[in-house]
Structure 1
Amino acid sequence: DVAFLLLTFFILTTEFKQPDVEDIVTPSSISKSKLTEGDNTMTISVTKDGRYYFSPTNNPSQRVELLEKMGEKYNITFTEQEKTAFQNTQFVGVPVAQLKAFLQLPEDQRKKYKGSIPMDSANTQLVEWVQNNAKINREAKLAVKGDGGASYDKFKVLFEGLRDIEFYKFVLVTTEE
């Protein structure tokens, strides 16, 4: 009976890892350090075909503040329903101009949506998300999770964008060899 109670306790109290936006096969490395994902971790995901996704820190009020900051910059006002949807959305994968329509989709459709946040020399929305999230949460850490088959140029543009906003500390997510 005690074993059953312990098993039940662990099952009910365990927080499961959130699924990735898409299947991302990270490159291997010999690093032994582990990434401790938590409320202060924001993640950029780069897919094999070069699409960018951003997962902000997990604090609901900070997420709303982030959405409002991005809305101010692009002259977009979000409704309370859209703010609530953003709090519950695991990732952002659309340009800010399409964000209202994305947030109005049912949750199951948002999870399946295959878009990308713009990140090139002319449009740096991805690093704007990072910059604003870091201003709201000064403790925030950035993890970059990229598919091993993604183009080098996609990472180069991303890292140059991070350099331009003077965001130098981040971790690369890899798998152990």
Structure 2
Amino acid sequence: MAKVKKHSVYIDMTAMSDVTVLLLTFFMLTSTFLPLEPVRVTAPASVMEIKVPDYNVINILVDLRGKVFVNIDRPEVRLEALEKMSAEYGVALDDRQKKAFLEQPYIGVPMNRLPAFLDLPFAEQDAAMREYGIPNDSTDNQFINWVRKAREIDSEMKITIKADQTTPYPLVEGVMKDLVKIKANRYSLVTVLRGAPEGF
């Protein structure tokens, strides 16, 4: 009986690994990452398919209790707005605090508490921010000032408002009325997409 010779099979995986690395690099370079939000918000559902802008945007976040947080996505605009707000409210910040301000995606504390907030370790800042929010009452509306300063720097900045689906409407309406006061009448409400109802 003749013996059958066994040959080992060799598959060259070099081309496959090259393609994998290229795809991974492509996705890493083209994807945009959402900033970490200080509070968890479940946006209401809608059937609108208009994409909200993802660059040159002022993102406004309203939590269940009506606390307001603002994200200005361009670092150079954030820093210039911070300098204008610091001058207006008489708050002195050193270079280390300004660097910490740029690392924190959302603005969510009153100006008088900002230096102490920026001195906290980064891991503790989120919990501290949830306690405050930007003042937006009739006596001290720092929220309007942040938006106004950012739009003075770049009038083309778009505005988005994101609130939880269970946030009482008067709280969101208050934010919208604040925007009207500074003639920021065009903004997008962030929602999640759901299927259209039958017959729509």
- TM-score when normalising by structure 1: 0.91
Aligned residue for 2:54?
37
Distance 1:12 1:152, change over 3 A: closer
Give the one of 92, 109, 117 matched to 1:77.
Answer: 92
Gaps of 5+ in 1: none
Query: Are 1:55 and 2:71 counterparts?
Result: yes
Q: Percent identical across equivalent pairs?
A: 28
Q: CA deviation at 1:11?
A: 4.8
> Residues 26-63 of structure 1, C-alpha deviation per residue, up to 9 Å, x if partnerless?
1111101111312x1111100122211011132x2222
Alpha carbon RMSD of aligned pairs, Å? 1.5
Aligned residue for 1:168?
185
Q: 1:150-161 alignment to 2 at 5 Å? A: 150-161=167-178
Asked if the contact 2:36–2:105 (Cα under 8 Å) also holds between the matched residues in 1, the reply is no
Q: CA deviation at 1:123?
A: 2.0
> Residues 65-108 of structure 1, C-alpha deviation per residue, up to 9 Å, x if partnerless?
11111111111121111111111110011111111111111222
Gaps of 5+ in 2: 1-15, 195-200
Q: Which has the larger radius of gyration?
A: 2
Query: Are 1:107 and 2:122 counterparts?
Result: yes
* 2:162 partner SS: strand
Q: Could you list the runs of 4 or more consecutive aligned residues of structure 1 that deviate by over 6 angstroms after TM superposition?
A: none
* 2:160 partner SS: strand
Q: Distance in 1 between matches of 2:127 and 2:182?
A: 31
